[in-house]
Chain A
Amino acid sequence: MRLETKTRNEERGTRNSAHRELGLADSEYEQICELIGRDPNVVELAMFSLLWSEHCAYKHSRKLLRRLPTEGKRVVMGPGENAGAVDLGNGYAVAFKVESHNHPSAVEPFQGAATGVGGILRDVFALGARPIAILDSLRFGQLDSQRSRYLLDGAVRGIGAYGNSIGVPTVGGEIYFEAPYEHNCLVNAMCVGLARTEEMVRAAASGVGNLVVLMGASTGRDGIGGASVLASAELEEGEEKRPSVQIGDPFEESKLLECCLELLGQGLLVSLQDLGAAGLTSSAGEMASAGGVGVDIDVSRVPLREADMEPFEIMVSESQERMLAVVEPANLERVLELCDKWQTGAAAIGEVTDTGRIRVLRGDELVGDVPVSALVDECPLYDLEPQEPDSWTYGNRATLDDRADGAESLLALLASPNVASKRWAFEQYDSIVGSRTARGPETADAAVLLVPEVDAAIAVAIDGNGRRVACDPYRGTVEAVLECAANLGCVGAEPLGVTNCLNFGNPEKPGPAWQLDRAVSGLADACEAIGVPVVGGNVSLYNEGPEGPIYPTPVVGMVGELPDPRRAAGSGFARAGDAIALAGPFGPSLAGSELAKLRGELDLGLPGVDLAVVYAAIAGLREAVRSGAVASAHDVSDGGLACALAESAIASGLGCKIDLDPLVEERGASGETALFGEGPGGFVISGDRAKLEQLASDELPVLVIGEVGGEALEIEAAEQSLSVPLADAEHAWRSLAERVESA
């Protein structure tokens, strides 16, 4: 069989610029020609343009990612697999990954977010893990923008529509509203799954002569070029790109999920891989590359939605709800029977070969033939040309008068959509299906999921404050890791592994390149310092609007374990009369804070963090929670200590009386900074006064600052004094729904 192609010489004079329209640089095109010894034909060019896109090849980030610590004794699967996984003991592992679907969501928020969830679910069940939780991290422009409310509404409905109907609970997440996300919202979805370690499979194809089986939905023209068109360039004319957005079908995926898990449970699959960006090309290429084998694909055997599809369209279609499996020929009949039982499509479309090549056939005709290594491993990697910006470039419109008093500032902060309750969103998600959710949205700092299979529980959190990363990419990213660890600490959980999604602007520009470089170093150093491996992740670059890049937004997802879910502390106070203490080395600062944003005072710079000191405090708090010494625990985050106290009070329906003078004296802060300053390493804990005092140690300083009770938040802090009725605080904190819906 010979491939009909023109020789390079024939083509040279007339070569058009098709590769440029597909996002390949001239130098990259030249390199492809050298690698395969001729010009690629249309099928091959389509395949290269996708696998050599930023989205698939990580060509601007791969070198940086080598800095991340990826090994640990609990790691079962690390980066490079469909998702990472860590050992839970007793024959079980927890698999997890976060992934972005930013550009599709900015174009069509409902389908963009829905298929983002669908894609991350497939990554997790591709390992043989049953998905048990979804978390999502969303960023939109300011809430007063109609476009932001439209994107928010669509994304939340999309996440719900997919997660709810597939029966996986959405147990947590975060939403921030900042002007730099106005044109380029972020939708990051994280999935957590539970697997029997011995039933897990890798994505590597193996066994020459084994069959390649495509399962799930039929293949259509939807999402063609999604990875290159949408995910690897700046978004400009979103409307015209709508046909590139994929359409989700959670029912199809529900059947596919159950079918795959049953197939894996019966040991009928050699390997399994989901079809995501770049469709069959990417799945077949990555499977072959990981296994060091070749793969033949016959596109005439792919079940199609539209009969007249060209081979290149079939190879790059991003139709959703499809998986690619490698099956021993003797097992094919059983596999097809089980697919039939679950009413999910299945077709043997090719086989594993020893050629080291991806060969695309249409029946007997060879229509594409490239070395796997050229396609998957040889994409050029670029060095960044970072340059530190010398000033704050994001703008910052003041919405709060700096003469506002303490009470006015507190109410403004509680009503700020970044701080306000996200109940409007999370009530649209099924957070309880699966019967594992011991701590769901806004009841504790991290979600807690029961895992009776190992007689324990896991905690999960997702965090990343892009505004603070914009102030200082290194320190802001360190803080995101510490914030996750602090959230886990509040429920008594010890971190096991990290996943991350790096959402940044155009890496070919010096400013975003510098942010990316510094953020990856911060992520690496923080994970190293707390001894937690990064087992997977995703990079989303070119997130820019007409006014410039988004805030640099590394989103960190963390999974931890806790021995006794009954002791997982809630964030709300428990009893009137309990003492309230500030635990940890918290040194508040207004730099990069929510208050600084409201006042229009944002600027570059964040205070330094002593990673070892803060993590020792987090570990101390974790032990305190595990010992049952605290009745509530809540970390100090957006809006500072005053907002943390208000949140603990609102959750319990109990007020509090607080004196922050000890904090002002000991940490040298002003009253205002003590109230609203932010920074890592602070926890509001409550409980029996003597027990709280006994917790104090060198690692975990404990300052008793007040008492639970009454119907108001009464706080004294040096020159500041405020008293806000609890009902007013709650009204402000619960104002999000009305502001979204009234529009």
Chain B
Amino acid sequence: MIWGVVQFPGSCDERDALAAAGLVGEARMLWHADDDLDGIDAVVVPGGFSYGDYLRAGALARFSRLMEALAAFAQQGGPVLGICNGFQVLCEAGLLPGALLTNEDIRFVCRQVEVVVESNRSPFTAGLEPGERLSIPVKHQQGRFFAPDDVLDELESCDQVALRYAAGHNPNGSVRDIAGVTNEAGNVLGLMPHPEHAVDELTGSVDGLRLFKAAAAALA
């Protein structure tokens, strides 16, 4: 399979995401100003500070030219993984529900946390067992997931909460400990933890690689 990793001005984790995806398939960098996703089987919108996050995290990147093609790709059921800033971009673009607010304690936090698999509907969690714990790092300042209660109830009843922080591991005050959500169809997953930084035992954990492997297996 062929992965595409979107690069915006100000992206930081795009090369790491490219390397992680490259462990389970072919991976190509996609430039934000391009306009087609021909031949791409799955897209990663990586972490970083697209456009400096100056207006609001993800608020400017959503207007990138490539985002139109990405929205069409997602609507056709193409798998899309938004990590951290990528999650923020996908929320801003309306491809995912909710919003990501400044962390409860206002500060940037970089820490290894444990998350619990809630749903295996998305191609990135397919094959993982609900209740499984994964050790994956977070690093962000605007990572507090928020949505109104009625939206949250609906997300939960529709099995759209993909990952929650394990008890005592919520690093940012996210409502209902939500670490990752999918769109209604389940093909678009956004999460604050960085699975691309958990693909090598030497750097701390290989649990993140399971998300990439799951998608590769689901698409095989």
Interface positions of A (Cβ within 8 A of B): 157, 160-161, 164-167, 249-252, 254-255, 258, 342-343, 426-438, 450, 565-566
Contacts and interface: CB of A to CB of B under 8 A. Distances in A.
Given A254-B9, A438-B202, A167 B197 contact: no
The 3 closest A-B pairs by CB, nearest first: A167-B12, A251-B52, A165-B49
Interface in B70-108: 107-108
Contacts of B13: 167, 433
B36 interface: no
Nearest to B50: A251
Interface string B168-185: 000000000000000000
B123 interface: no
A636 B213 CA distance: 44
A426 B53 CA distance: 22
Contact of B196 (A161, A435, A436): A435
A164 B10 contact: no
A436 to B, nearest CB: 7
A249 B53 CA distance: 11
Nearest to B106: A157
A566 B202 contact: yes
B108 A254 contact: no
Given A164-B108, A164-B139, A432-B110, A250 B52 contact: yes
A669 B65 CA distance: 71
B107 A428 contact: yes
B157 interface: no
Interface in B51-70: 51-54
A437 B112 CA distance: 13
B12 to A, nearest CB: 3
Interface of B: 9-13, 15-16, 19-20, 47-49, 51-54, 107-111, 137, 139, 141, 194, 196-197, 199-200, 202-204
A251 B10 contact: yes
A167 B107 contact: no
B110 A438 contact: no
A419 B203 CA distance: 26
Given A167-B11, A435-B16, 20 more contacts: A160-B108, A165-B49, A165-B52, A167-B13, A250-B49, A250-B52, A251-B10, A254-B52, A343-B9, A427-B107, A427-B111, A432-B139, A432-B197, A433-B16, A433-B47, A435-B196, A435-B199, A435-B200, A435-B203, A438-B203
13 contacts: A164-B141, A165-B10, A165-B52, A167-B11, A167-B48, A167-B49, A254-B12, A427-B107, A432-B139, A432-B194, A434-B16, A436-B203, A566-B202
Contacts of A437: 203
Given A251-B52, A430-B139, A435-B196, A166 B12 contact: yes
Contacts of A438: 202-203
Contacts of A258: 9
B73 to A, nearest CB: 24
A432 B49 contact: no
A160 B52 CA distance: 14
Given A164-B139, A427-B109, A435 B197 contact: yes
Contacts of B108: 160-161, 164, 428-430
A427 to B, nearest CB: 6
Contact of A432 (B52, B107, B203): B203
A161 B48 CA distance: 12
Contacts of B9: 251, 254-255, 258, 342-343
Given A250-B52, A432-B197, A432-B203, A255 B10 contact: yes
B139 A165 contact: no
A343 B10 CA distance: 11
Nearest to B13: A433
A435 B49 contact: no
Contacts of B139: 164, 430, 432-433
A436 B204 CA distance: 11
A321 to B, nearest CB: 11
Nearest to B202: A438
Contacts of A250: 49, 52
Given A429-B108, A435-B197, A450 B203 contact: yes
A437 B200 CA distance: 10
B86 to A, nearest CB: 14
B109 A428 contact: yes
A251 B51 contact: yes
B126 to A, nearest CB: 25
Nearest to B20: A435
Contact of B110 (A166, A252, A428): A428
A167 B199 CA distance: 18
B202 A565 contact: yes
Contacts of B54: 251
- Residue with the highest number of chain B CB atoms closer than 10 Å, among A161, A164, A255: A164
A251 B49 contact: yes
Nearest to B14: A167
B203 A165 contact: no
Contacts of B48: 165, 167
Nearest to A443: B204
A438 B51 CA distance: 29
A370 B202 CA distance: 55
A428 B106 CA distance: 10
Nearest to A441: B110
A164 B109 CA distance: 10
- Residue with the highest number of chain A CB atoms closer than 10 Å, among B51, B108, B197: B108
Contacts of B51: 251
A213 B111 CA distance: 41
A434 B19 CA distance: 10
A430 B203 contact: no
A625 B125 CA distance: 39
A80 B203 CA distance: 35
A569 to B, nearest CB: 14
Contacts of B20: 435
A342 to B, nearest CB: 7
B196 to A, nearest CB: 7
A254 B49 contact: yes
A431 B53 CA distance: 20
A134 to B, nearest CB: 13
- Residue with the highest number of chain A CB atoms closer than 10 Å, among B10, B47, B109, B197: B10
A165 B53 contact: yes
Given A166-B12, A434-B16, A429 B110 contact: yes
A252 B199 CA distance: 30
Contacts of A450: 202-203
B107 A435 contact: no
A432 B137 contact: yes
A431 B203 contact: no
Nearest to A449: B203
A167 B47 CA distance: 9
- Residue with the highest number of chain B CB atoms closer than 10 Å, among A167, A258, A428, A437: A167
B52 A249 contact: yes
A637 to B, nearest CB: 24
Contacts of B47: 433
Nearest to A249: B52
Contacts of A433: 12-13, 16, 47, 139, 197
A116 to B, nearest CB: 17
Contacts of B107: 157, 427-428
- Residue with the highest number of chain A CB atoms closer than 10 Å, among B12, B47, B48, B109: B12
Contacts of B11: 167
Contacts of A165: 10, 12, 48-49, 52-53
Nearest to A433: B12
- Residue with the highest number of chain B CB atoms closer than 10 Å, among A251, A255, A435: A435
Contacts of A167: 11-13, 48-49
A685 B110 CA distance: 29
A574 to B, nearest CB: 16
A530 B20 CA distance: 40
Contacts of B204: 432
